[in-house]
Amino acid sequence: MRSLAYKDSQTLTSSDIENLARRFGGKSEDYIEIVNKQKNTQTINKYALLKEINSDLNTLISSNNSE
């Protein structure tokens, strides 16, 4: 018989982070921002056109900054 195994997720959710912040202090928004950035990077890397546009934009921004 297949046992109903407890699946331990490695990904922190927003509510996990809020709980940690409540317990140990700090601003949960800062951590959620990091999670969002990771999600955004995943989305950009998932789709070829988005990845290309993002790469070109980064090149453009760095060339503007060096001027």
Partner 1 sequence: MQRVFVKGIKGGLGSTSVVANLACVLKKSDANVIAIDLDAKSDLGLQFGLPWKSTKGWSNEGNFEDALVHFHQDSDGVIFLPFGDNKADQNEIISTINNCEKLDCPQNTWFLFDCPSYIYLERFPLKPNDIVIELINCDAICHSLIYKRLQKLKSSESNWKHYFLVNRYNSASVLEFDLFSLWQSTLPLMAPFFINSDEVIKESTAYRNVALNCAPYSIANDDFETLAGWLVSKAAL
Query: Of the listed pieces 7-15, 18-26, 49-57, which binds partner 1 according to CB under 8 A?
Result: 49-57
Structure tokens that stand for 22 in this block: 């409540």
Alpha carbon distance 64, 21 (integer Å): 38
Half-sphere exposure of 49 (CA within 13 A, CB side): 0
Among the listed residues 14, 30, 47, 55, the single contact to partner 1 using CB under 8 A: 47
CA angle 51, 35, 32 (to 5 degrees): 140
**Residue 22 binds partner 1 (CB under 8 A):** no
Minimum distance between the CB of residue 8 and partner 1, rounded to whole angstroms?
Answer: 25
- The residues that touch partner 1, with contacts defined as CB under 8 A, are 36, 39-40, 43-44, 46-47, 49-50, 53, 57
